[in-house]
Structure 1
Amino acid sequence: MTDVLVLGGTGWLSARIAEQWMAPAAAPRTAAASLGASGAVAAARASVTCLARGGRPAPDGATLVVADRDGPEPYAEVADREWDEVVDVSSNPVHVAAAIDAIGDRAKHWTYVSTVSVYAANDRPGADESAELLTPAGPDEEADYGRAKAEAEASVRSALGFRSAIVRPGLIAGPGDPTDRFGYWVARFALAAGADVLVPDAGGRGAQVIDVDDLAEFVQAIGRERWTGVANAVGDPVALGGLMREARSVAGHDGRTATASDDWLEAHDVAYWTGSRSLPLWLPREMPGFWTRSNAVYRLLGGRLRPLRETLERTLADERARGLDRERRAGLSRPDELALLAELAA
């Protein structure tokens, strides 16, 4: 039986990766098909261990090892075993380096889930995995998300080399999303029903979306085949206006959309992309490369990209279950939006 260690395993993405490893194996749909697999895949499930702080359960069937990666000897309970696969999703480069030091020589293959935010520039459409990366932070510097992930990637490449895979997702979407970004639009259109919704000028803007379960499936597949290299795990580029139209259709919104210019939104303290009082997925125009990264490697390896509408439908069902008018980590509250709509119409 394959022994898999997921560093995490109780969070949104890492739990789904653990679940993928424990699912009954089937004929390969992703990386295996392109990596020369015979098609005869063992039906046995993997034995999965999740190392996490606790407070949240591991997926059913997985073993939970409770350990704080900031604490003393967090890997003691897993360092005396051989692992067929180790998966790490951490954005803390100290945690990543320490895990490699503790158990790197016990792993036959290591998959690190990074991000497209490691790239140094976002102004060139269609850039692939060879594009320049951000400079990792120095030992005394406080790193932002992208530089922290770049530093973690450097540790993986340096220590594990040809035993490792690096996966760089972009916008991850689907049920359970803790960032509240992608779900904002389909939830807001559903909440508004027949009333107006504030939208940004979508001209020349877009997004690249990957469903969380497609990403988890891909991470499991390349781990199973011990593929090595770097892959952007991103969807096909979609125009932001098209994404919002599809979200309106899924939500059944029959009200109007009120478009505000960049200057107007900035003057009214509405933020780009994410966070409170933002319009999620809206990006500055000078960042076309952020939503047009090449996914040729992902496609070549057989990575799945389900239809955008399917992800929107799954997301809306989850948003309804969590409450369309709940407090969100990203987006405008409905009262704030109504106030802005009134000012825009004045």
Structure 2
Amino acid sequence: MTSVLVLGGTGWLSGWLARDWIAAGAEVTCLARGTRPAPDGAALVEADRAAPDAYDGVMDRDWDEVVDISSDARHVEAAVSALADRAAHWTYVSTLSVYAAVDVEGADESAALLEPARPGDEYDYGRAKVAAEASVRAALEPRAAIVRPGLIVGPGDPSDRFGYWVARFAMAGDEPVLVPQTGGRSVQVIDVRDLAAFLVSVGRTGWAGIANAIGDPMPLGDLLEHARTVAGHTGEVRSADDALLQEHDVAYWMGPRALPLWLPADMNGFATRTNSVYRNLGGSLRPLDRTLRDTLADERERGLDRERRSGLPRTDELAVLADLG
């Protein structure tokens, strides 16, 4: 039986991953703090990854597959130091945010990276992932997969970004919805379930290399129209330009006063990365409308009008709409 160690396994993506490995017949162990339960069928080893003895409970055996998702470069380096000799294959889940340039469209895995984070630097997500990748590659490159997802979406998403749009269109009904100007803006997403399946696949085959794990680029306006159709919105869709949105302190991309997925015009390269390696390895991409329907069902269950980690509150949205005249 394949033995799999998931460093994490109790969160959103790592939970899907652990469940998929279990469904594939693997013996799965999750190493986590224990604040949330491990998926049914997985063993849980409780540990604080900041502690010097964090991996003592999983160092007494060999592992066919180790998967790490952490964005803390120190945790990744410590895990590699403790477990590299125990792992037949290692998968590190990185991010498209490691790339230095965001204005180059169609860039592949060979594109230049940010400078890696160094001890004592102020935390930067992309640079921390670059440093973590370096630790994995230095110790495990002949037997390591580095997978770089972009925007991960689907039911249960704790970031509230992708789900904002289908939820807002559904909540608005026949009332107006505010959208950013979408001309020249692109977006790429990957369903968490497709990503988890891909991570299991590279672990099972022992594939080594680097892959951008992301969907095909599409115009942001097309995604918003799909979300509107799935939600059954019949009201007006009103567009505000960047300047007006910024005057109202509406943020880009994510956050509690953001229009999620909206990016500055000069960052279009961020959402046009090539996914040919992912595709050639058999990575699947389910239809966008299916992901939107599943996301809407999840949003309804959690509450369309709940306080969100990302998205413009409806009252603030109406204030901007009033300014549009």
Partner of 1:10: 10
Number of aligned pairs? 325
2:141 & 2:212 partners in 1: Cα distance? 18
Q: Quick one: which amino acid aligns to residue 193 of structure 1?
A: G
**From 44, 64, 87, the counterpart of 1:64:** 44
Partner of 2:55: 75
Structure 2 residue matching 1:132: 3-state secondary structure: coil
1:54 & 1:188 partners in 2: Cα distance? 34
Map 1:291-306 to 2 at 5 A: 291-306=271-286
2:312 & 2:118 partners in 1: Cα distance? 36
1:142 & 1:260 partners in 2: Cα distance? 34
**From 215, 219, 236, the counterpart of 2:195:** 215
Q: What do the CA deviations read for 1:284-327 (whole angstroms, capped 9, x no partner)?
A: 11112111100000000010000111100010000000000000
Is 2:172 the counterpart of 1:185?
Answer: no
2:119 & 2:254 partners in 1: Cα distance? 28
**From 289, 305, 324, the counterpart of 1:325:** 305
CA contact (8 A) 2:163 2:295 kept: yes
Partner of 1:239: 219
Deviation, structure 1 residue 72:
3.2
1:104 & 1:16 partners in 2: Cα distance? 24
Q: Quick one: which amino acid aligns to residue 310 of structure 2?
A: A
- Percent of residue pairs identical: 67
Partner of 2:79: 99
Partner of 2:20: 20
2:140 & 2:164 partners in 1: Cα distance? 39
Partner of 2:89: 109
Structure 2 residue matching 1:59: 3-state secondary structure: coil
Deviation, structure 1 residue 101:
0.6
Superposition TM-score, scaled by structure 1 size? 0.93
Partner of 1:35: none
Map 1:115-126 to 2 at 5 A: 115-126=95-106
CA contact (8 A) 2:245 2:320 kept: no
Structure 1 residue matching 2:30: 3-state secondary structure: strand
Q: What stretches of structure 1 of length at least 5 have no aligned partner? A: 25-44
Q: Quick one: which amino acid aligns to residue 198 of structure 1?
A: L
Structure 1 residue matching 2:57: 3-state secondary structure: coil
Partner of 1:282: 262
2:120 & 2:170 partners in 1: Cα distance? 47
- Structure 1 vs Structure 2 CA RMSD: 0.7
1:263 & 1:65 partners in 2: Cα distance? 50
Structure 1 residue matching 2:131: 3-state secondary structure: helix
Q: Quick one: which amino acid aligns to residue 217 of structure 1?
A: A
1:187 & 1:149 partners in 2: Cα distance? 31
Is 2:139 the counterpart of 1:159?
Answer: yes
Structure 2 residue matching 1:77: 3-state secondary structure: helix
2:162 & 2:186 partners in 1: Cα distance? 12
Superposition TM-score, scaled by structure 2 size? 0.99
Q: What do the CA deviations read for 1:88-133 (whole angstroms, capped 9, x no partner)?
A: 0000000000001111100000000000000000111000000000
Structure 1 residue matching 2:234: 3-state secondary structure: coil
Partner of 1:199: 179
The structure 1 segments of at least 4 consecutive aligned residues displaced by more than 3 Å after TM superposition are: none
Structure 1 residue matching 2:67: 3-state secondary structure: strand
Structure 1 residue matching 2:188: 3-state secondary structure: strand
Deviation, structure 1 residue 71:
2.0
Deviation, structure 1 residue 143:
3.0
Structure 1 residue matching 2:265: 3-state secondary structure: coil
